[in-house]
Amino acid sequence: MRCLDLDISVGDVLVMKKNHPCGDNRFLVLRVGMDFKMRCMGCGHEIMIPRSKAEKGMRKIEKNPPAAQS
C-alpha cells in the first residue's frame, strides 16, 4: 500500500515509465478519482486506469499551470 499523497489534478500531464503502443509515454489527465481517465498525447487514445497502477507506473508529473484570471 502506497502512502504517498500525490497531488494529481485534471489537466496535468503524467510521464509514464512504459510507452503506449504508439510510442509516446505522456498522458493528459481527464478525470481523477479511484480511477484515472487519461488521453495519450501521441495518438489521442483514451484509457481508464486504476489510481494505484497509474501511481506505480508514473515517472513524473508535469503540472498544468493555473489559468490566468481576468
For residue 49, is it within any domain?
yes
Cell numbers found for residue 22: 504508439
Q: State the pTM of this model.
A: 0.81
Q: How many domains does the chain have?
A: 1
Distance of CA 33 to the CA centre of its chain: 12
Position 64 scores a pLDDT of 73
For residue 5, is it within any domain?
no
Strand partners of residue 29: 38
For residue 70, is it within any domain?
no
63 or 26: which carries more pLDDT confidence?
26
Buried b (16+ CB within 10 A) or exposed e, 4-28: eeeebeeebbbebeeebeeeebbbb
CATH of the domain at 25: 2.30.30
Position 51 scores a pLDDT of 93
Position 6 scores a pLDDT of 75
Q: pLDDT for 5-59, tens place per residue?
A: 578 999 999 999 999 999 999 999 999 999 999 999 999 999 999 999 999 999 9
The domain in which residue 47 lies consists of 13-62
